Structure 1
Amino acid sequence: MKAALLLISGLLLSGQGWANEALAKKNGCTGCHAMASALVGPAFKDVAAKYADQADAKDQLIQSIRQGSSGKWGQMAMPPQGQLPAADAQKLALWVLKSK
Structure 2
Amino acid sequence: MQQLKYFLLATVFLLCSLTAKASSDDTKAAVLAKQNACLGCHAVDKKIVGPSFQAVAKKYAYDSGSTEFLKNKIWKGGSGSWGVVPMPANAKLGDADVSLLVSWILRGAPSAN
Q: Place the TM-score, normalised by the shorter chain, in its bin.
A: 0.7 to 0.9
Note the residue ranges of structure 2 that are not aligned, 5 or more in a row.
1-8
CA distance in 2, matches of 1:94, 1:78: 19
* Correspondence list, 1:14-29, <5 A: 14-29=23-38
Contact persistence 2:26–2:104 (CA under 8 A):
yes
RMSD: 2.0
Q: Structure 2 length as normaliser, TM-score?
A: 0.78
Query: Aligned equivalents of 2:68 and 2:21: distance in 1?
Result: 26
| Higher Rg of the two aligned structures | 2
- The higher relative CO (CA closer than 8 Å, separation ≥ 6) is in 2
Identity over aligned residues, as a percent? 36
Letter in structure 1 aligned against 2:22: L
Q: Aligned residue for 1:44?
A: 53
Within 5 Å, which residues of 2 pair with 1:1-100? 2=9, 5=13, 7=16, 9-99=18-108
Name the CA distance, whole Å, in 2 between partners of 1:71 and 1:19: 29
Q: Which runs of 4+ in 1 moved over 2 A?
A: 4-13
| Distance apart, 1:13 and its partner CA | 2.3
In 2: Cα distance, 1:86 partner to 1:9 partner: 22
- Deviation of residue 62 (structure 1)? 0.3
- In structure 1, what residue type is equivalent to 2:20? L
TM-score for the superposition, normalised by structure 1 = 0.87
Choose 5-14 or 56-65, whichever is displaced more.
Answer: 5-14
> Hey, what's the Cα distance between the residues in 1 that align with 2:19 and 2:63?
28
Q: Which one-letter code corresponds to 1:34 in the other structure?
A: A
Number of matched pairs? 100
